[in-house]
Structure 1
């Protein structure tokens, strides 16, 4: 899963990688601790940090490319009971405390997200977390 995270996002270590998969489809999350230097750079540069953060570190194809980054909250997350992360977190059977923390944080300003085919990547600089939720 780390190979899907774009190279400029420094990963310290995995926290949770879990999901469900069937014959052709799957869903889940991969949560990584972000290294301190990446978190500091994002806090200093904000959205500008992500200008060239579009391609997965391990793949060079359209399926592993992300759309332009946007700040949280995603407008639909504010008015819905589900967020960008809900489908992946539900499939992962993640700890309720962690799920609640991420569901709350993704609805707050100060974080960033990018959609990709059948996935979303959310970066929480203050929490030093990188969350990849996939579904499809």
Structure 2
């Protein structure tokens, strides 16, 4: 019968503790987290749509929640996650074409995703407050 036990120990695969954290690595993790956050935010969107279809009482309850400070923070985070995930997807689309793999291009695309997501989120909320008449 053959000996199935190995006498030589196999090396362990490198893990996060081995690698030096890089901005692109952190953005990959953030992209995954925002994808999961979008799932839960979409549940809130479904709640809002169901309440709108159910009548004024259900809709007013959802509006009271989303109009509270806690609700506004959740909506702000959902907006940022949506924009950030979209820009991360565009970054990956650029990589799928075979472009942007140089060190300078990778860093530029990563910084553009961060700055763009924060800037667009703030712009959307500022424009929303201006057109909606501010906090009610």
TM tier, shorter chain? under 0.3
The structure whose Rg is larger is 2
Higher strand content, 1 or 2? 1
Higher helix content, 1 or 2? 2
- TM-score, scaled to structure 2: 0.22
- TM-score, scaled to structure 1: 0.22
